[in-house]
Homo-oligomer: A and B are copies of this chain.
């Protein structure tokens, strides 16, 4: 392992905080937590059971229950009984939730690309490329 080079590590951490803060603020403007926003994103192309949802979000089943309760109360998602296994409950977006999720997602993309505006185009692509290489090899 090579020497950490602390200020370089700091730079990456600061970028991460900036991204996180932007997304959190955006979510808050729609009365969503970042977790709720991620929930909508996950459900965009899936109808997973509660436990699987928990794996995606790294939450316990009880936390997922509460999360889905609150989203369902707002009419964004709904629970669907499993067809083959009576114990399983799938979660899916309602029509309203899908429309909403789509809008929020577009805003998020816009917010992040605004954040990246200090970089001219070729560097932006370079940053993204490096980011991909890190996350591909990540835990």
Contacts and interface: CB of A to CB of B under 8 A. Distances in A.
Interface of A: 1-2, 4-9, 11-23, 58, 108-110, 112-119, 121, 123-139
Contacts of A5: 113, 124-125, 128
Given A118-B137, A126-B130, 13 more contacts: A6-B109, A7-B128, A9-B109, A11-B129, A13-B23, A13-B112, A15-B19, A18-B139, A118-B134, A118-B136, A119-B130, A123-B133, A127-B130
A16 B1 CA distance: 23
Contacts of A15: 12, 15-16, 19, 131, 134-135
Contacts of A13: 19, 23, 108, 112
